[in-house]
Amino acid sequence: MPFELYVDSLYTSPYALSAFVALTEKGLPFSIKTVDLESGAQRQAAYAGRALTARVPALVEGDFVLTESSAITEYLDETFPAPEYVALYPQDRRQRAQARQIQAWVRSDLVPVRVERDTETVFFKKPCAPLSESGQQAAAKLVQVAERVVQGPQHLFGEWSIADTDLAILLSRLVRNGDPVPAKLREYVEFQWQRPPVQAWLARHQPG
Ligand SMILES: N[C@@H](CCC(=O)N[C@@H](CS)C(=O)NCC(=O)O)C(=O)O
């Protein structure tokens, strides 16, 4: 296996999921290594000594170790480009920039949504308390922005891109909790959810 991908042992990290989807879409052979975040294994030298940010995901290719999921997806897309491999980013330069815009935004803004609707809700249906005022404001902004960019139930830029997976995972924090989300966005999340690499990630939650 030329690649190793370090992910959290509960498979709840949306960033690890993004890197997993990228490798799977590209059809690259890789092995999964899990890091038990609950026990703080990410801060121990065995991991932190190699993974610069001491967070998951980390991609390992020989002696090259890369953290930050969007850096990983960009590296994979440049190293294994279309048309031989599935494109992770749109071919059009401006659309590619817009895809990166979505990726950067979902990782940097809307902290109350990410805190109050953690991904254990998404993957394990963990019930959540009602959103706080700042949570409601962040959720409203997410819906407003998503409504501007999601044109139909399928992809943001005509073809699938990794920004679709990233945006859908963020929206799913609201959708899976039953928070009010317009039907168009619920359908978009459902469509993205059915993509085989996402389903392959979900299958990792099944015992055995
Ligand atoms: N911006 C990073 C975020 C990575 C991140 O926050 N990972 C979390 C899991 S979702 C983590 O490793 N948390 C453990 C810690 O920070 O100690 C990326 O996109 O890869």
Q: What is the pLDDT of residues 6-27, one digit of tens each?
A: 999 999 999 999 999 999 999 9
In which residue ranges of the chain is CATH 1.20.1050.10 found? 93-195
Q: Which of 10, 11, 56, 73 to mutate to test the pocket of ligand 1 (most atoms within 8 A of CB)?
A: 56
Give residue 47's pLDDT: 98
Protein residue with least CA distance to atom 16, ligand 1:
55
* C-alpha span between 96 and 88 (Å, rounded): 9
- Residue 103 CA neighbour count, 13 Å, CB half: 23
3-state helix, strand, coil split of the chain in percent (to 5) is 55, 10, 35
CATH 3.40.30.10 for the 3-86 domain, yes or no = yes
In which residue ranges of the chain is CATH 3.40.30.10 found? 3-86
pTM of the model: 0.97
Ligand 1 lined by 69 (C-beta under 6 Å): yes
- 83 Cα to the center of ligand 1, angstroms: 31
Is 4:60 a contact under the CB 8 Å cutoff?
yes
* C-alpha span between 55 and 52 (Å, rounded): 8
Ligand 1 lined by 13 (C-beta under 6 Å): yes
Is 165:135 a contact under the CB 8 Å cutoff?
no
CATH 3.90.1010.10 for the 93-195 domain, yes or no = no
177-191 burial string, b = 16+ CB within 10 Å, else e? bebebeeebbebbeb
- 155 Cα to the center of ligand 1, angstroms: 26
Which of the 8 DSSP states describes residue 157? B
* C-alpha span between 24 and 200 (Å, rounded): 9
Residues of the chain predicted below pLDDT 50: none
Tokens of 44: 């121990």
Give residue 182's pLDDT: 97
Ligand 1 lined by 107 (C-beta under 6 Å): yes
Give residue 208's pLDDT: 53
